[in-house]
Amino acid sequence: MAAEKRGWLAWVERVGNKLPDPAALFLGALFLTWVLSAALAPVAWDLVDPRNGEPLVVKSLLTREGLLTSLLGMVKTFTGFHPLGVVLVTLLGVGVAEQAGLVRAAVRWLLEITPVRLLTPTLIFVAIVSHSAGDAGFILVVPIGGTLFRAAGRHPLAGIAAAFAGVSGGFSANFVPSGLDVLLQGFTQSAAQILEPGRVVNPLCNWYFMTASCLVIVLLGWWITDRVVEPRLMATRVDGDEADAHTLERLSPRERRALVGTTLVAVSFMAAIAAVSIPEHAALRSPNGSLSSFDAPLMVAIVPLLFLFFLLTGLTYGGLAGTIKTHRDAIAGAAKSMGEMGYYLVLAFLASLFIEAFNRSNLGALCALKGALGLRSLGLPPAITIVAIVFVGAALDLFIGSASAKWALLAPILVPMLMSVGLSPELIQAAYRIGDSTSNIVSPLMPYFPLVVMYARRYVKSAGIGTLVATMLPYSLSFIVAWTALLLAWWGFGLPLGLGG
């Protein structure tokens, strides 16, 4: 019998699990958005929307026009919900790989070559690197974390937590440049030019600092997982469908040969992608030659490429290992992965409606602008201002999930204001990125949060919002404190944050 959980995290878990189902939370948030938009629409706000230079107006969603827009756009809002397509298309390929036994075999092979003591940091490191593939880490690395830990005889929720912490809690920490660097730089440079028209901000202005941040996230996440989270989770009984799925049997000779053949196919696939990506005028580069910008074909096609990767490797492994004998086996695997997504489809539908309504009403813009102006009115010393930027970003992340959407609102206010007191645009952007990253993992309204709850329920049927929030809080609190301290030390010693930063 599992021991009773005690302490403040146990209280958070109990309270959180008494909240309504995540689907009901999104529905309630949608209704609240409608009501607030109608109540605040008549108010004249003395604010200028930096996105268009016009006075900010809260738009009522309970008018004839607002209701018609919601009704007529409902299908498009749902089908255009970004996480939905990313999840479903990727899982079609992953389903074939799972049906073939490739995922299970790869996990067993990884356990054979990875020292037990290094399993946690290896998982977190892989989770951080997955940022380069956009949102794919939520679909690939987080569930594999549970599988890895379960196969190693450890608590699967600890593996999910460690992977989630790396993918989402350390979202900006990465030594591999990504499209996010370019996207945020654009807003930062435009804001800086309000004060200094000729100011140029390098897209990799935070690269050195974010590379060093990887080490902090990996080491701190390792310690929290092994010393805080997993010991606490030992009181949580594993009773889901995969409760007895752990095993440490060695790969058979045929499975090893199948893995070797699959590896050759995987390497050939990646070599083909490199051949149409690396050359100066390659097909997968953007018009300006970038590979990491969001308009680069490589970034746009990352989900279809992942689908093809898992489809090809799954079929190869299944054919060599004898686990896929006909095309029907492959189709059954893809269908099974879609069959398990029914609950997520309901969540995605309601989440898409809420996020669209919240953005269209301008309530998110109102929160962001009020927060930025409130910070400006405080007139804090520079060091405390840096800390305040981190926490403003973290607080707003509970309401606005998109890092770029928040920065589009905050940058035109914060960057010129703080440049005038001697803080560089690159430093302000780095502080914002810390806050934006560290609160992702404790926000139930983050689009991928319900998906992680669903992963947890594979192993613990009673897992809910409270379970995940209580599990992730130690990471969130530790990351925001340690990461902010690193930034203050970096600033204090006058170290360059990145190229031209």
Q: Which stretch of 23-37, 148-162, 246-260 has the lowest confidence by average pLDDT?
A: 246-260
For the entire predicted model, the pTM comes to 0.78
Distance CA 81, CA 111 (A): 36
- For residues 273 and 3, what is the distance between their CA atoms, to the nearest angstrom? 51
Q: What is the DSSP letter of 4?
A: P
Q: How confident is the model at residue 89 (pLDDT cuts 50, 70, 90)?
A: confident
* Section 250-258 average pLDDT: 87
Contacts 24+ apart (CB under 8 A), 442-446: 442/469, 442/472, 442/473, 442/476, 443/397, 443/398, 443/401, 444/19, 444/22, 444/25, 444/469, 445/25, 445/26, 445/29, 445/351, 445/354, 445/398, 445/399, 445/401, 446/168, 446/397, 446/401
Highest mean pLDDT pick, 97-111, 456-470, 481-495: 481-495
Say what the pLDDT of residue 359 is.
81
In the DSSP assignment, the letter for residue 499 is T
Output the pLDDT for position 1: 38
Query: Tokens in use for 110?
Result: 């990884």
Q: Are 195 and 420 in contact (CB under 8 A)?
A: yes
pLDDT tens, residue by residue, 161-219: 999 999 888 888 877 766 677 678 878 888 888 778 888 888 788 889 999 999 999 99
pLDDT of residue 481: 95
Its sign, for the CA torsion 260, 266, 267, 272, is: positive
434-487 pLDDT per residue, tens: 998 888 888 877 778 888 988 999 899 888 888 899 999 999 999 999 999 999
Which residues are CB-neighbours of 151 under 8 A, at least 6 positions away? Answer: 107, 108, 111, 245, 246, 247, 248
Asked if 126 and 133 count as a contact pair (C-beta separation under 8 A), the reply is no
Tell me which of 367 and 6 has the higher pLDDT. 367
Q: What integer pLDDT is reported at residue 316 of this predicted model? A: 94
**pLDDT one-digit tens code per residue, 303-343:** 888 889 889 999 999 999 999 988 898 899 889 888 877 87
Alpha-carbon distances of 119 from 158, 179, 235, rounded to whole Å: 12, 29, 21
Q: Which two tokens stand for residue 341?
A: 């997504």
% pLDDT > 90, the chain: 28
Q: How would residue 2 be classed by pLDDT, with cut points 50, 70 and 90? A: very low
Neighbours of 77 (CB within 10 A): 19
DSSP annotation string for 293-341? STTSHHHHTHHHHHHHHHHHHHHHHHHHHTS--SHHHHHHHHHHHHHTT
Structure confidence by residue, pLDDT tens digits, 379-403: 778 889 899 889 988 887 776 666 7
Residues 136-163 pLDDT 10s: 678 778 888 898 898 888 999 999 999 9
